[in-house]
Structure 1
C-alpha cells in the first residue's frame, strides 16, 4: 500500500478516530483517540521497543537488523491505522531519522510499510509538541510557567511554557541510548567515566541554562520512558512516591556505579527492557538537574505522541500552527502584506482551475497560499537573489508546526518563483511530493508575474487549463496588450517553465 501524498485539513465528527504515531529513537508509539462530545478519548495505545538509535553509525547509516525491526513494527502499526482516514493520522520521526545521511533510503520503505506519510520533525518542533502533549494532559494554570524535560533515545528537549504556549525550546543531541553507547562503551561503568560525561553534557546545557533560570518556572515536569523508569526506581526504593529529587537521583547513580557494568545493574523497579539504557538516562537527567539547579521533578505520562494528537486537531483550521508561524515570519521580515495578498489571491484562483486535473489537495492549496505570502521574505536580506535568500531562511529555520519535508516544500516554491529553475531547487523534496511541488511552483510563478507592477488594480479573470504536464493560460487580450512588460514576461515564461518539467502555452495575445 502506497502512502498518500498529502492530507486534507482535519475535521472531526462525533465518533471519528484520530491517530498519532511517534517514531522515536528508542520506542515507536501509536495512540488512537475517538471524538466524544467534542473531546478526545484515548481508545488504544501500542508501543514497541525498536532502539533505532542503536543502529545509527558515525557515517549516518542504519544497521540492517535495526532497519528490519523498524519496518516490521511499522507494518504492524499500519494494520492498526488502515481503517482510519489518512487526514486523521499523523506520523512523526525524530532524532535518529534526523541524523541519517540519506533519510529517504529509510523513509521510502518505512512509508510503504506503514501505508502513510511520515514527517521528520526538527528538535525544536519536537520540543513544541512535547510541551503541547503535557499541557493538554495536565492543564496548567494560565499564569504559571512550566519547565518540561523530555529525554529520548537520541536527544533531549527542554521547554519552558506558560499555559499552552511554549516560550523557550531547546534540543540537545544527548539521549539515553546515545549517551550510554558513547560514554559507557563496552558496558563498563566507572565514576571517572561518569564524571567526564557529566561535565561534557552539562557544558552543552550551559548554552541556554542562564536564560532558562532567568525566565524561571513554577513547576518542573519530566516526560518520556526515561523519567517513568527513574520515577519507578525512586518509588521502589522508597526514596519518593514517584517524583524525582536531586537526592534520589544521586542515590540511584551511586547504586548503578557500584554494579560496575551495564548488564549487572540491578535496581528495584527497573525492567529488563530498560536496563541496557538506564545509565545514559540517569546521566543526562543528573546533568539537567545540575545545569538548571533543579531539586524536584514531577513525572508525566504524556509525551510527544499526545502532542502530535492535539496538534493534528488544529491543522487546517483557524488554529493551524503553520499559519501562525507564517504570520510571524511575515512580520519579522517586513513582508509587504498587500503585495503578498495580491499574489495569494491570484495563486488561489489559478489553483482552483487546475486542482482536479493535477489531483491537488486542500493541503496543497494551503501550502501554495503560505508560499505566496512568504515569497518576498528574502527582500529583507537583499533584492539581488531574494528568492534564494528566502528559500534559505525557510529551509534552515526552526518553524513551529512544520516538518522538515514541509519546510523543504515551502523553500522549493519560494526558490523557484522567479528566474530560471535550477535542478537543485527540488532535491530536498521527497519523491512522493515532487509532482505536487513542481505544479504548485508553476502556479506561484504565474501569480507573481501577474502582479509584478504591484498595482492595486484588479487582474481580470484568467483561464488556466492543465493537460498532463502542459498548461494553457488565457488572459484578456486588450488588458495584456496594454501591459507590454507583463506580456514580455509571459512570452519568456515558457522557456523558464521547462525547468519545472512543464510546458506553458499562452492564448489570447
Structure 2
C-alpha cells in the first residue's frame, strides 16, 4: 500500500512522548527529534501495581483505579502543550484482562488528556523488540529478547530491527507472586510447583524457539534490571545474569523463606514484594531455553513506542505492511480493492473538513477499502461478517486493539444492513467517526459494483452533520439503472446508523430512446 502523507510529520526539534501503561509500573518518556535521532530528555516512572488490583470477575479495585488515575493526571500535566499526534499512550496486559476496559479507559484518558491504545500481547512484544533493538549496537545476528512484566512475559526472536517470532504468556512478576507466593512465603514446594506450571506454558513454543536459535539473550524492563542489580551487587555475576548467579539468587530467596525477610544487596524496596514471581519465571526460562548468560538492556517498550511513532511519520508504518500481507494471504482482488480505495479517498477528501475527519481516519478508511473483500476467501454469503472476524482477530503488527475493533466494525457494516449495535459497542469517542467512515466505504463499494475499470463521472459529496448529499450527473444515473436502484436502497440502509443520504442530479438527463 502507498502510505498516506501526514500533514504534521515529526520535524527537527519536535518533542514526542510515549506513555507505557504497564501492569506493574507506568512510564512516561519524552524525547526530542534532532539530527535524525531521538534524544531522551525526560523520564517519569511510578509503581502503580495495576495487576495487583485485578479481581477474579475482571474488575479493578477502587484503590488501584485511583492510584492509576492520579499517576496519569501527573503525566498529563507533563504533556501539556504537546501536539496530540506527538503523544502515544499504550496499555498492556492488566488492561487487556479487564472485563469492561472502557470503564477504566474513559476516565484514564480524561486524566492523561490523550487516547490510550490497548495492544495485544504479540504487538507488545513487537514494540519491546523495537525498543531493545534501538538501544543495542547494530547486529545481524539473531537475538532472543525476554521481557518479564507485571502480568505477562514477552518472548521475541529478532534480527536487526525485525521481530521474527513473537509470543506472550500470561505469567508476570505480580501475577506469579500472587499465584504462587500470595502470603509472602517462599518454600521449595511452592517453587517447584511454580516452575512446573510455568514450564508447561513455555512448552507451547519453546521447542520452536530453540530450533530457530539465537546468538545472544537479552533481558528487558524492570524485573530483569532488578535481578541484574541483585546478582551484581551480591558479587554473583560481573556482568548481566548468568545461570549460576540465578541459582544463587533462587537459594537466597528460599533461605529467607518469606518476602518480608528479604535483605538482598541491589533489591529496591518497591520490588521486594514481587521479586519472587519474577525470579521463578526467569529461573524456569533459563532452564527451558538452556540459557547460560543474559545481558540486561536499558531500553524497553516505551522506547519502542517512540521509534514506532517516528517510523510512522517517516512513512515506514508497519500497519501498511500488515494490511498488504493480509490482502495477499486471503487473495483479495487487487484491482477491485484499488478502485474502491481510490473512490473512498475521493469521497473522504470532500467530506473530511465538514465531518472533522483527520489523517488517522483517512488511513483507517484506506486500510478497510484494501481488505473489504477478505471474507470472500471463506464464503460469499455474509462475507462482510467473515472479513470483520478476520480483521478483528488476526495478529496485525502495528495495530492497537481499538484500531482492529474499529476496522472490524466498518467491514461488518460495509454492505447489506449496517451493524448498528456493533458500532455502538465501540469506545464512545470512536463512534461518530466510524459511522461516517462506514457511509463513505459503502458508497465507494456500491459505485464499483460492476467491478470494471470504467471511470466514474465527476461527483460531488456535500456533508453536514448527519446529512450526505451525493451529486451525480443525470445522464450517468440514467445510463446506470442498477446503481440508481442500489442508491435508492442505500438511503434506507444508512438510516440504520442515523445518516440521511440524498442523491442529487446535475446536468441534463439522457435523451429518450
Preserved contact between residue 9 and residue 316 of structure 1 (Cα < 8 Å)? no
Q: How does 1:235-246 map to 2 (within 5 A)?
A: 235-246=232-243
Q: Which residue of 2 aligns with 1:290?
A: 287
C-alpha separation in 2, matches of 1:83 and 1:383: 50
- Secondary structure of the 2:30 match is strand
Displacement after TM superposition at 1:242 (Å): 3.4
Instruction: Give the Cα separation in 1 of the matches to 2:61 and 2:427.
Output: 22
Deviation at 1:427?
A: 4.0
Q: CA deviation at 1:9?
A: 6.5
- Tell me which residue corresponds to 2:206: 209
Instruction: Say whether 1:457 aligns with 2:454.
Output: yes
The answer for the alignment partner of 1:79 in structure 2 is 77
CA distance in 1, matches of 2:443, 2:427: 24
Is 2:358 aligned against 1:364? no
> Among residues 257, 270, 294, which one is paired with 1:260 in the alignment?
257
Cα shift readout 1:147-200 (whole Å, capped 9, x = no counterpart):
000000000000001110000000000000000001112111111011011100
What is the aligned partner in structure 1 of residue 193 from structure 2?
A: 196
CA contact (8 A) 1:10 1:315 kept: no
- What corresponds to 2:387 in structure 1? 390
Larger mean Cα displacement after TM superposition, 332-341 or 419-428: 419-428
1:485 paired residue number: 482
What is the CA–CA distance in structure 1 between the aligned matches of 2:218 and 2:499, rounded to whole Å?
53
Q: Deviations over 1:349-395 (max 9, x none)?
A: 00011111100001111110010001001111111111100100111
Matched, 1:433 2:430: yes
Separation in 1, partners of 2:315, 2:324: 13
By how many angstroms is 1:46 displaced? 0.6
- Partners of 2:409 and 2:419 within 8 A in 1: no
Give the drift of 1:308.
0.2
Q: How does 1:318-397 map to 2 (within 5 A)?
A: 318-397=315-394
Question: What is the CA RMSD across the aligned residues, in angstroms?
Answer: 1.2
> Against the structure 1 CA distance between its residues 23 and 9, is the aligned structure 2 distance closer, same or farther, given a 3 Å change threshold?
farther
Q: Does 1:138 align with 2:158?
A: no
Pair 73,353 (structure 1): closer, same or farther in 2 beyond 3 Å: same
Alignment equivalent of 1:25, drawn from 14, 19, 23: 23
The Cα of 1:501 is off from its aligned counterpart by 1.4
Runs of 4+ residues deviating >3 angstroms: 7-10
Once the two structures are superposed, what CA deviation does each residue of 1:70-94 show, in whole Å capped at 9, x if it has no partner? Answer: 0000000001111111111100000
The answer to whether the Cα contact below 8 Å between 1:223 and 1:301 also exists between their aligned partners in 2 is yes
Whole-Å separation in 2 of the counterparts to 1:321 and 1:9:
19
Q: Contact between 1:368 and 1:440, CA under 8 Å: does it hold in 2?
A: yes
Supply the distance in 1 between the matched residues of 2:359 and 2:181 (Cα, whole angstroms). 50
Structure 1 gaps of 5+ residues are 1-6
Partners of 1:462 and 1:504 in 2: how far apart?
14
| Inter-partner Cα distance in structure 2 for 1:37 and 1:396 | 39
Aligned residues: 502
1:95 aligns with 2:93: yes
Distance in 1 (CA, whole Å) between partners of 2:423 and 2:286 is 43
Equivalent positions of 1:122-161 (< 5 A) are: 122-142=120-140, 144-161=141-158
Separation in 1 of the partners of 2:181 and 2:417? 52
From 174, 178, 185, give the equivalent of 2:175. 178
> CA contact under 8 A between 1:10 and 1:314: conserved in structure 2?
no
Of 239-248 and 207-216, more deviation after overlay is shown by: 239-248
Q: Do residues 305 (structure 1) and 302 (structure 2) align? A: yes
* CA positional deviation for 1:397: 1.3
How far off is 1:10 after superposition?
A: 5.7
Shift in Å, 1:424: 3.0
Q: Residues of 1 paired with 2:179 and 2:387: CA distance?
A: 38
Question: TM-score w.r.t. structure 2 length?
Answer: 0.96
The CA distance in 1 between the partners of 2:405 and 2:313, in whole Å, is 19
Instruction: Please state how far the C-alpha of 1:317 moved relative to its aligned partner.
Output: 4.2
Q: Confirm or deny: 8 A CA contact 1:391 1:415 kept in the other structure.
A: yes
Displacement of 1:346 after TM fit? 0.5
Q: How far apart are the structure 1 equivalents of 2:12 and 2:240?
A: 37
1:4 is aligned to: none
Q: CA deviation at 1:341?
A: 0.5
Structure 1 distance, partners of 2:282, 2:465, is: 56
Match of 2:103 in 1: 105
Between stretches 461-470 and 167-176, larger displacement belongs to 461-470
